[in-house]
Amino acid sequence: MLFTSLTFVFFFTTVFILYWSAFNNNLAFQNRFLLLCSYIFYGWWDWRFLVLLLCISVANYLIAILIQKKNNHKPRKLLFITGLVINISVLFFFKYFNFFVDGFVNLTSSLGFTVSRFTPEIILPVGISFYIFISISYLIDVYQHKLKAVSNIYEALLTFSFFPVILAGPIQRPISLLPQIQNRRSFNYKNATDGLRQALWGFFMKMVIADNCVPFVDDIFANFSHYQGSTLLVGVILFTVQIYADFAGYSNIAIGIGKLLGFQIMQNFAFPYFSRNIKEFWKKWNISLTTWFRDYVFLPIAYYVSGKIKSDRFLLIKTDYLIYIIGILITWVLTGLWHGANYTFIFWGLIHGFFLIMFHLTTKPRKRLLKRFNMSNNNLALIFLESLFTLMIIMVSWIFFRADNVNHAFQYILEICSMSLFSIPISIPNNLIILIILFFGIEWLGRKQEYAIASLVVKWPKIFRWVFYYSLILSIFYFSGTEQKFIYFQF
């Protein structure tokens, strides 16, 4: 069920009432009730997905306990590797099997061999990338003695399937979620109202902003060869708005729901489009995924490579630069693949990896250049130009992210760069333009908070505060677009 559906409203209202009334004084019952609700929520999509989730969860629960019990390094390592293989194999089969089979067939065909193509119809379980990553982080943290394997199976299963975050994150790691599950939770009015406020802003982002962009984005990208460059540029701008409002909107709803249930879920977006450089952008966009790849992929790779290179330079490149380049490239290829089995996502990852490397290599020369021209780093013109350049990089990368294939993406970009860019684009409804401007205006005003309206209206007089809240609610009912699935459900 979608967060934005009436079914979910009825579901969560029932959960909230029972959770804080019938089970309020019993932590064990609260956890079991949440586990049941999580399985109902997840199984609502397809009960077969629920069977897979349950099997994966039980396997990780048992393997972690066995790792915890072993004192000898070799059996612990063997169990750990076994757990990783199980999780990665499941993810590979459901998400990447056909992609790599097709790649192998195309490679052999180009070499002159004929291989029959076998691509079974595999249904991608919703949210599989998210709960597999949660499972992997649990095994890693138990193996590295950062977290004790939980013996209570209900607490373990809830950790892997907590319904606010299971479908599209944030990727709430067990090391932070599990202690909240194990400790008694009591209703807190302040946290609950904050959760309602954040969820309301998330619903506005998704239903009013993102969903209204969808028809234009889908049409322009599906028929890009029939449109001129100016319209294609509008399509990129609208998709840039859509994907942020959609994914950040989901995260705000999930975090708000968590607060209503007494949980603190990590912030996943911190106003990324206001970033000054690509590194800052990735500190603010999909924070849970970025920090996951940093901690479990980039840093281990960097540590491993640094142990293999003993000299200060390798192939005329400074060792520290080389370590960073290798780590970033591998990390961002995997980040791209995580998003989907398509070369477009690999290109998207490589674009961000390339500009992260360029930013790293130019940091010191940039400082010297500013010093030479006696220019402050806080120069407003410099901030504006760097922010604009960063946003342009992001928008180009979104073309690959949204395109059906790499050729489609390059043709799209070439048409934007043609003289047709200066033609008149298709008309976009004025109300949508106004709503988008108002949306980013509020985001800008609240950019230093956890979410845009976290404290923006809290200190206003009560009457103005409630006028604002009811305005958001009415806009959701009046301006909401056709109900759309969240973009990140496909990942």
Q: How far is CA 258 from CA 7, 176, 263, in A?
A: 18, 13, 5
Query: Which one from 73, 145, 226, 339 is the annotated catalytic residue?
Result: 339
Q: Taking the CB of residue 359, how many other CB atoms lie within 10 A of it?
A: 15
380-384 long-range contacts, Cβ below 8 Å, gap at least 24? 383/276
Measured between alpha carbons, how far is 291 from 479 in angstroms, rounded to an integer?
Answer: 35
CB 160 within 8 A of CB 56: yes
Residue type, 102: D
427: Cα separation from own chain's centroid: 31
Residue type, 70: K
Return the residue matching tokens 């220019």.
375
Measured between alpha carbons, how far is 65 from 61 in angstroms, rounded to an integer?
Answer: 6
Measured between alpha carbons, how far is 357 from 366 in angstroms, rounded to an integer?
Answer: 14
Q: How far is CA 235 from CA 216, 240, 441, in A?
A: 7, 9, 21
CB 270 within 8 A of CB 283: yes
Q: Taking the CB of residue 366, how many other CB atoms lie within 10 A of it?
A: 14
Sequential DSSP letters for 380-448: HHHHHHHHHHHHHHHHHHHHHHHSSSHHHHHHHHHHHTSGGGGSPPPP--HHHHHHHHHHHHHHHHTTT
Measured between alpha carbons, how far is 160 from 50 in angstroms, rounded to an integer?
Answer: 12
387: Cα separation from own chain's centroid: 22
CB 94 within 8 A of CB 122: yes
Instruction: Return the bridge partners of 318, or none.
Output: 313
Measured between alpha carbons, how far is 113 from 446 in angstroms, rounded to an integer?
Answer: 59
Nearest to 178 by CA among 143, 212, 153: 153
Using CB atoms within 10 Å of the CB of residue 434, give its burial: 0 to 12 exposed, 13 to 18 middle, 19+ buried.
exposed
Return the residue matching tokens 């120069």.
379
Using CB atoms within 10 Å of the CB of residue 312, give its burial: 0 to 12 exposed, 13 to 18 middle, 19+ buried.
exposed
- 254, two tokens: 């999930």
Instruction: Return the bridge partners of 313, or none.
Output: 318
Can 352 be counted among the known catalytic residues? Answer: no
Residue type, 115: V
Q: Which residues are catalytic?
A: 339
